[in-house]
Structure 1
Amino acid sequence: MASSCFTGVSAPVFSSENYAAWAVKMKAYLRAFDLWDVVEIDKQPNPLPENPTLNQIKHHSEEVAKRYKALSCIHSAVSEMMFAKIMACETAKEAWDKLRLEFHGSDKSKQMQIFNLKREFALLRMKDGESIKDYIDRLMKIMNQLTLLGEVISKNKVAEQVLVSLLEKFEAKISSLEDSKDISTMTISELSNSLQAVELRQAFRDGVIISEGAFVANQTTKMHAGSSSNKQQFGKKGKEKKESFDRRQKGKKEGVKNLVIWRKFARTKVKQISSKLKLLKSYRRRKSNLKSNCLQQAAMKLKSILKPGYWTVDAPTI
């Protein structure tokens, strides 16, 4: 019996595009309501026996109603244009087969689709500048189309196809995976995660090299070493590259020259500042000595003032 929690679920609508995906969704929808047997094999209800009981009559009525429920589900799961194609069908199986034949093709056309997808899968190669995620998505799209057509590709074959179709920069990682793990047992997600980690490290390393200018310097050095051959091969383009390299080299030399001048200037400034500091220290020492001498003289004068009899005053005569 169908579960009551599915009563509010609406059927997927087919509008002449992506029939394979709609068929998978619709098949699951009909199974949720226990109606797929009616569509798949056009199951007929058993005839009532003589003198049937109330339960037998009720069960027979439910089986008869299933046929119309299945046809109603298919009617509600197609657009108006698609409904015009199947409105004359009397049973759910007849409507389903008509849609499958028109949009999914016959067995012969189905085999041709499988053949074309297998060929596309075998010739699939990773493009320059394409990320691992985008490449795996393209691969999985072909696999899903084959699965909808009833052709299942083994995980081992998928892993082999990924490894043989990657770019050259992943060769080191492929060798390490072959030595450390059994590739035939690896899932697509595990393989994708390992390759994405390598891709992320390479992108980070390339970004650091470019920011430091080492990669540019290396490339310009190689270009300068073969400037004569480049000039003959590429003509004006090689000449422009050589001029660009000469300008950068000239800038580097000027930068080194400016650095030497700046160091000389810094040394003289340091000497001047150190001499001023020495003068300041000597001045502070002299000032402190002068201050201490003044304090000593004031103390001696105070002692002389406080001697006995210094403040004695003679009595007036009468």
Structure 2
Amino acid sequence: MSDIEEKSTNSSIPKLDDLNYPSWSVRMKAYLRSKDLWEICTGEVTPAKKKRNETLNAIISHLSEEALDATVTPENEENPALLWASIVERYASSSVNNKARIWLKWMRYEFNGNLNSYLADCQKMIRECALVQLGIPDDIISISILAKLSKDYWNVVDNIIMNEAIIFFPSRTLKKLRELVYMKD
């Protein structure tokens, strides 16, 4: 891989923060795999010092200050497998803290009038709920999606609520709302 390709790939990985773990982890894993470093994070291999340092650099350089403070400790700062486990524990475990963080984010989210971006954000939050095994019933998630919409959408909301084939499935609820986006375009 050329230096330009390396910088482009490396820069496509955002810094990890409290809002982007699902997409960050996909990108980071893909990057680490492309460099034959992923097995080091899973603890499957004992790396040479150079590979260990390369792995640590790749991960730590893509942590926000907040994520760095929350995950890097003296015990794991030189061990990629322990560091990765710490990141997963902080951002993807089903701990009460993670569940609360995800649910509070969901509850505080407000519809800003742009249905397309709202639906994309809802899709991300649904993935986060699944990631931490939040345990909220699907119909409640669908109703929460609908509850945040403005009066302009109340007729559509009523139709979705009355349709059991849609309301019990957040993905179908989002799909039905996406149809509105396409109709307006």
CA deviation string 1:17-51 (max 9, x = no partner) = 5273544322222234553232223534xxxxxxx
User: Do residues 119 (structure 1) and 104 (structure 2) align?
Assistant: yes
| Cα deviation, residue 106, structure 1 | 11
Unpaired segments ≥5 residues, structure 2: none
The equivalent of 2:54 in structure 1 is 72
| 1:68-97 Cα shifts (integer Å, max 9, x gaps) | 4254233245449989x7999554324545
More helix by share: 1
Q: Which residue of 1 aligns with 2:145?
A: 162
Identify which of 28, 31, 37 aligns with 2:30: 28
* Matched residue SS, 1:182: helix
Instruction: Look up the match of 1:92.
Output: 80
Could you say if the C-alpha distance between residues 68 and 80 of structure 1 is closer, same or farther in structure 2, counting changes exceeding 3 Å? same
Alignment of 1:193-204 (within 5 A): 193-196=178-181, 200=184
Give distance in 1, aligned partners of 2:80 and 2:105.
35
Shift of 1:118: 0.9
Select the structure of larger CA radius of gyration: 1
1:107 Cα deviation from its structure 2 partner? 6.5
Which residue is 1:12 aligned to? 10
AA matched with 1:187: R
Q: Deviations over 1:258-309 (max 9, x none)?
A: xxxxxxxxxxxxxxxxxxxxxxxxxxxxxxxxxxxxxxxxxxxxxxxxxxxx
Q: Which residue of 2 aligns with 1:139?
A: 122
- Unaligned 5+ segments in structure 1 are 1-6, 45-63, 202-318
**What code does the residue aligned with 1:171 have?**
W
The 2-side partners of 1:35 and 1:163 are apart by 43
**SS of 2:132 mapped into structure 1:** coil
1:190 correspondence with 2:175: yes
User: How far apart in 2 are the matches of 1:24 and 1:80?
Assistant: 13
Distance 1:33 1:156, change over 3 A: farther
1: CA distance, partners of 2:117 / 2:62: 36
Is the contact between residue 159 and residue 191 of structure 1 (CA under 8 Å) also seen in structure 2? no
Matched residues, number: 167
In structure 2, the partner of 1:150 is 132
Of 155, 166, 169 in structure 2, the residue corresponding to residue 172 of structure 1 is 155
2:147 is aligned with what amino acid? V
RMSD: 4.8
Contact in 2 for aligned 1:163/1:174 (Cα 8 Å): yes
